[in-house]
Structure 1
Amino acid sequence: MKIGFIGLGTMGRHMAMHLIEAGHELTVHDLRREAAEPHLAAGARWADSPAELAGDVELVFTSLPGPAEVETVALGEKGLLAGMRPGSVWFDLTTNSPALIRRLHALFAERGVHVLDAPVSGGPRGAQTRRLALWVGGDEKLFERYKPVLDAIGDQPYYVGPIGTGSVAKLVHNCAGYAIQCALAEVFTLGVKAGVDPLALFKAVRNGAVGRRRTFDGLVEQFLPGKFEPPAFTLRLAHKDVSLATGLARELHVPMRMADLALEELTEALNRGWGERDSRVAMLLQEERAGVEIRVPEERLRERER
């Protein structure tokens, strides 16, 4: 298949090379021609602009730093909009703004060009080894048609929903990761200041209930189905544990902004009379504030396990 690839940086250079290795005819473009030297040596051809690249291919991938670069490549002078032919397809692999990708989707649709967002997760090492998730938003039939090509880039291409939903999933994932990072920084400074060796602390907690499970797996037991009885661990006991931890932090003069916020949430939930429900019931408070109800029927959750 004739494919164009724009953006040969930390992630893109590996993904583009995998497409060559899979036997596709690749045309490449980057702000720096030297970034393309390995690809040209492997048989790719060079295009001087996004428009030139797009004019001779069926499928275009972009892997760029952010929304500003995507908009320039798409709509700038000699951009993709000027070069892509009706019926051709563009997958944007960038971590991008959902609003921007939806606007571009509408603009390109007027020219008969299909746009899908497909941000990736796995980091440079994952891009090199193909251990990558690709979260795709857009036309599901196009996702299915080009899934063999996506498989050449990463081992976990997944259709999320309409245009923009892939980008939303990526932002949810990354925001969760950095929020957890902040919480881990707090609790580890607490543990070490309380006298525990850092490596001993790491080895201890990674074998606990939280350490043994993947980050998002616990959501299927209470939060997603909205089922908080019978409790796996009561809110009352969770409140006690976090109270003890924040109390220790005060004794040792360790700031614990994230933990203090967690304690506020648990306290508010306790004041609702939820003390004997499962501790995850406190998550309902955020649903109320956001004005959204999250409920997944249990039969759909069971389908996930098949």
Structure 2
Amino acid sequence: MALNIGFIGLGSLGEGLCNSLVTAGFPVTVTDLNPAAAQKLLAAGAVWADDVAGVCREADVVITVLPSPAISRKVVEGPGGVFETLRAGGVWIEMSTTDFEDLQRLQAAATQRGIAVLECPVTGGVHLANSGQITVLVGGEEAVFQRVEPLLAAMGGQIIYMGKLGNASVVKVVTNMLAFIHLVAAGEAMMVPAKYGVDPDATYRAIRASSGNSFVHETESQLILSG
């Protein structure tokens, strides 16, 4: 039996992740502060809800992809939030980049209500979210992970189980840290040849074809070239 999914947060990342679920045939109910963000999903077969309670009413699994820990807290534990309206036995999947200690606190609150929790931050960039090939890092009880693995597989390419809740958040922060370091280095590397009059596009292509290449250079240095 297909899991009924509630999806909250349809920004540049969430919309792509949710679209993969809808395209794969999962029954999905969505909501966002910006209804226009849902138009593509609704055309593909998703159902709109006006609020969080409407998303949770028939859901087996609720997924949140939100821009900050503060907003996530409000959505899940505020009045009419996920914890109040998702039935006991349901699963909350947090796919936002969130706070390690706060997530553990929220897990304890969810457990009191009979709700299971997984953290599933993603890494790889919005373009991979749109193509269904983004990497998903999973933290939480392995039995819960196995229960929802098919829907995670619909959203991502590599699905990596990291162990207990919190482990995935720690590794996600490390991947961000490395990406920032690589981005600073790539920016400096692009600047030096430019000072000598080398065409930046030629520099980009040369680095991409060299031992100095990286995922960050291939994706982010293009933003430098585009201004």
Q: State the distance in 2 between where 1:119 and 1:42 align.
A: 25
Match for residue 95 of structure 2? 93
Partner residue of 2:110 out of 71, 94, 108: 108
Match for residue 182 of structure 1? 184
Partner residue of 1:57 out of 56, 59, 66: 59
Q: Which stretch of the first structure deviates more once superposed, 6-15 or 109-118? A: 6-15
Partner residue of 2:127 out of 125, 128, 131: 125
* Structure 2: gaps (5+ residues): 217-227
Match for residue 70 of structure 2? 68
Q: What root-mean-square deviation, in Å, do the aligned CA atoms of Structure 1 and Structure 2 show?
A: 2.0
Report if aligned partners of 1:52, 1:78 keep a CA contact under 8 Å in 2. Answer: no
1:9-49 Cα distance to aligned partner (Å, 9 max, x none): 21212222221222211111111223223333333222222
Q: State the distance in 2 between where 1:25 and 1:206 align.
A: 41
Match for residue 48 of structure 1? 50
Runs of at least 4 residues off by over 6 Å: none
* Structure 1: gaps (5+ residues): 216-306
Report if aligned partners of 1:28, 1:46 keep a CA contact under 8 Å in 2. Answer: yes
Partner residue of 2:83 out of 76, 81, 84: 81
Q: Which stretch of the first structure deviates more once superposed, 75-84 or 40-49? A: 40-49
Report if aligned partners of 1:51, 1:81 keep a CA contact under 8 Å in 2. Answer: no
Residue 162 of structure 1 and its aligned partner are, at CA, apart by 1.0
Q: Call closer, same or farther: CA 1:192–1:163 in 2, change over 3 Å.
A: same
The alignment's TM-score, normalised by the length of structure 2, stands at 0.85
Q: State the SS of the aligned residue for 1:115.
A: strand
Greater strand percent: which structure? 2
Q: State the SS of the aligned residue for 1:27.
A: strand
The amino acid that maps onto 2:43 is A
Q: State the SS of the aligned residue for 1:148.
A: helix
- Aligned residues: percent identity? 38
Q: Call closer, same or farther: CA 1:94–1:88 in 2, change over 3 Å.
A: same
Report if aligned partners of 1:61, 1:93 keep a CA contact under 8 Å in 2. Answer: yes
Question: What is the total number of aligned residue pairs between the two structures?
Answer: 214
Residue 191 of structure 1 and its aligned partner are, at CA, apart by 3.6
Q: State the distance in 1 between where 2:206 and 2:24 align.
A: 43
Q: Call closer, same or farther: CA 1:200–1:19 in 2, change over 3 Å.
A: closer
Residue 214 of structure 1 and its aligned partner are, at CA, apart by 6.8
Q: Call closer, same or farther: CA 1:205–1:43 in 2, change over 3 Å.
A: closer
Q: State the SS of the aligned residue for 1:167.
A: helix
Match for residue 34 of structure 1? 36
Establish whether residue 137 from structure 1 lines up as the match of residue 161 from structure 2.
no
The alignment's TM-score, normalised by the length of structure 1, stands at 0.64
Report if aligned partners of 1:122, 1:133 keep a CA contact under 8 Å in 2. Answer: yes
1:79-138 Cα distance to aligned partner (Å, 9 max, x none): 111111111101111111112211111110111111111111232221211121111111
Q: State the SS of the aligned residue for 1:133.
A: strand
Report if aligned partners of 1:28, 1:36 keep a CA contact under 8 Å in 2. Answer: yes
Q: State the distance in 2 between where 1:35 and 1:203 align.
A: 35
Residue 209 of structure 1 and its aligned partner are, at CA, apart by 3.4
Q: State the SS of the aligned residue for 2:185.
A: helix
Q: Call closer, same or farther: CA 1:148–1:75 in 2, change over 3 Å.
A: same
Match for residue 157 of structure 2? 155
Q: State the distance in 1 between where 2:142 and 2:102 align.
A: 20
Instruction: Determine which structure has greater relative contact order: mean sequence separation of CA pairs < 8 Å that are 6+ residues apart, divided by chain length.
Output: 2
